Structure 1
Amino acid sequence: MADDDSTLAQLSAAAKRYGGTCALDGVDLSLRGGEVVALLGANGAGKSTAVGLLLGLLQPDAGRARLFGMPPSALAARRGAGVMLQAAGIPATLRVGELLQLTRSYYPAPRSVADCVALAGLEGLLGRRYGRLSGGQQRRVQFALAICGRPRLLFLDEPTTGLDIQAREQVWRAVRELVAQGSAVLLTTHYLEEAEALADRVVMLDAGRVAAEGSVAQIRARVVQQRIRCVSTLDAAVVAGWPQVRSAVRLDDTLEIVTAGAEAVVRRLLDEDSGLSELEVRRASLAEAFLELGREPLPEAA
């Protein structure tokens, strides 16, 4: 994977072991300005290790990590990145305004306090002590601290855990604004609808290796699976035995079908039930693709 001017961070054939456990096995990953990359995978898939290598918190056993073309441990590289991790370690006795002023002082051209408040939704919280805030309010403060230095690259690890719907949507709007300004965002999340809403590119890790990579649409396209819903009197057990039907269940008067060939199944439904109504066909969601791809065996390493 070659460096270029738009690549802000990169893992090249990165490998990391913890004793006898292989956390990453030859992973390539790049982050470019103006995009959100969602790094997905089950617990233990290697997401935290990949982030740790890019931040310089860990050293690869093989391969290479680069941040703005430099070793991630370099101070100049770190000043270009903003980080929001799950474990924050923020002093509980400091007030929110004090935390913002302190963190802003580490950067040469930080955002104004007013901008940080607006982007993170901190109205009315500047005078409050951090330790007295709710979990959701603390996450919003952590987001403000991550963006206050105008980072070119933003690492967001489960950023909206504990947030209500309104606060989550505010973080999403802020992320989109930062990306529109040219920043790159590496997002790890268990909310697949969050990845679907924000990500330009998805990288799925499984057992320390890249299982799939591409746009949300490309990941979905790898799963030849569609869902059909309709109001029908047909017997679900009979429909379940049709070619290309993976499952069919009845919920009250609604028939729900999972199929690998929706066109043929819909044609047969219409042929066999003249009273069929409320027909709906939808493609696989990212969550369904994630589950399906997670069942596929990874290719053997060369």
Structure 2
Amino acid sequence: MHTSAPHSTLSREKPTAADTAIDLRDLRKGFGTGDRRVVAVDGVSIAVRRGEIVALLGPNGAGKTTTIDMLLGLTKPDSGSVSILGASPSAATSTGSIAAVLQTGGLLSDLSVGETVQLIASLYGRDALSRVPEVLKNTDLEELKRRRVSKCSGGEQQRIKFALALIASPDVLVLDEPTAGMDVNARRRFWTVMREQAETGRTIIFATHYLEEAEKFAHRTIVMNHGKVVADAPTAELRSSLGARLISATLPSEGRDDLLSSLAVAAGISDVRVDADRLFLRAADSDTVAVQLITAGAHDLEVIAPTLETAFAALTENS
């Protein structure tokens, strides 16, 4: 799918300092030297408001994980700045203002699930320890609290990491592929809890390969490619930004050649193809094209709105 619309048109106004939970300014990070140097993040600036749920999308190698590592203070940027609630990543981490669920990072395999959560809670004091039963419940770990971590599946271990992130009651949650390894029911429950967390005012930014997760749960979607932000907009706006809708219809037995000829040269229509008697095309003005098809005798008309997947593909294609 092709589009000539400039990616830079998909942008957002920056929140005020008082509203800002995450402020990344002109972050740059490369690895290697000389001819082997790879620029992983190339001038990324992102400001996230308090209470927003933001999805970070991009193909492999887009720079998402490196950006998250710099946000968390795990990697130092070559240039640029990171601020979390007005503080540095290390200060925000030490106070429990920010927590993360990452793909990497091990758990103590010999401890039980309950012991693991209790241990991390003890580092944050009495308030965190008092939250352990609630956190185990919210992460569906109550029935697993006596099971050794080594006996937990990959999805269950992700839920343990989620519990550890919640135990400090952070203001900002950062999630890198948080539902990897979870089954459908666990994923659904996870995002139900995420919504509840956001309703308390927490800010959530998550990287995912599941486009439907971004479409269902993110207020806003940021797309990265080749180390740069190529789109940043409310998720619904991003989904519809390409405008074109997919239209299909069964062609009439008479006048079909004239109909196809008129569609082929019409403005705003692309990707016209015929499979047997079925016509497929994309149209910016789907209502007008639908009327034209029905007037010409076409039937079994279907109109499909653009999805986040189609927007994602167009934004990352050849950019």
Q: Distance in 1 between matches of 2:177 and 2:260?
A: 43
Residues 272 and 279, structure 2, Cα contact 8 Å, conserved in 1? no
Q: Distance in 2 between matches of 1:233 and 1:87?
A: 57
Match for residue 293 of structure 2 among 269, 272, 296:
269
Opposite residue 10 of structure 1, the aligned amino acid is D
**TM-score (structure 1 length as normaliser):** 0.89
Structure 2 residue 171 is matched with structure 1 residue 148? no
Opposite residue 193 of structure 1, the aligned amino acid is E
Structure 2 residue 186 is matched with structure 1 residue 167? yes
The count of corresponding residues between Structure 1 and Structure 2 is 294
Q: 1:249 to 1:81 in 2, by over 3 A?
A: farther
Q: CA deviation at 1:230?
A: 3.7
Q: Distance in 2 between matches of 1:106 and 1:249?
A: 64
* Correspondence for 2:9: none
Structure 2 residue 36 is matched with structure 1 residue 17? no
Structure 2 residue 98 is matched with structure 1 residue 81? yes
Q: CA deviation at 1:249?
A: 4.8
Residues 84 and 92, structure 2, Cα contact 8 Å, conserved in 1? no
Match for residue 101 of structure 1 among 114, 118, 127:
118
Residues 270 and 283, structure 2, Cα contact 8 Å, conserved in 1? yes
The percent identity for this pair of structures is: 35
Q: CA deviation at 1:263?
A: 2.6
From the two aligned structures, give the one with the greater helix fraction.
2
* Correspondence for 2:199: 180
Q: Which secondary structure does the structure 2 equivalent of 1:31 belong to?
A: strand
Q: 1:219 to 1:2 in 2, by over 3 A?
A: closer
What are the Cα deviations for residues 133-174 of structure 1, in whole angstroms up to 9, with x where unaligned?
122211211211111211110011111112111111101111
Q: 1:245 to 1:269 in 2, by over 3 A?
A: farther
Q: 1:232 to 1:167 in 2, by over 3 A?
A: farther
Q: Which secondary structure does the structure 2 equivalent of 1:56 belong to?
A: coil
Match for residue 48 of structure 1 among 51, 65, 68:
65
* Correspondence for 1:196: 215
- Provide the alpha-carbon RMSD of the alignment: 2.4
Q: CA deviation at 1:70?
A: 1.7
* Correspondence for 1:257: 281
Q: Distance in 2 between matches of 1:186 and 1:138?
A: 20
Q: CA deviation at 1:214?
A: 0.7
Match for residue 270 of structure 2 among 239, 245, 248:
245
Structure 2 residue 314 is matched with structure 1 residue 292? yes
The worse-fitting range, judged by mean Cα deviation, of 2-11 and 48-57 is 2-11
The worse-fitting range, judged by mean Cα deviation, of 288-297 and 36-45 is 288-297
Q: CA deviation at 1:231?
A: 4.5
Residues 247 and 259, structure 1, Cα contact 8 Å, conserved in 2? no
What are the Cα deviations for residues 188-246 of structure 1, in whole angstroms up to 9, with x where unaligned?
00001000111111111111111010101221232122112445556799488463131
Q: Which secondary structure does the structure 1 equivalent of 2:209 belong to?
A: coil
Q: Distance in 2 between matches of 1:144 and 1:242?
A: 57
Q: Distance in 2 between matches of 1:249 and 1:293?
A: 26
Residues 88 and 142, structure 1, Cα contact 8 Å, conserved in 2? no
* Correspondence for 2:4: none
Q: Where does 1:101-120 land on structure 2 (aligned, <5 Å)? A: 101-108=118-125, 109-110=127-128, 112-120=131-139
Which structure exhibits the higher relative contact order, with contacts defined as CA atoms closer than 8 Å and separated by 6 or more residues?
2
* Correspondence for 2:237: 218
**TM-score (structure 2 length as normaliser):** 0.84
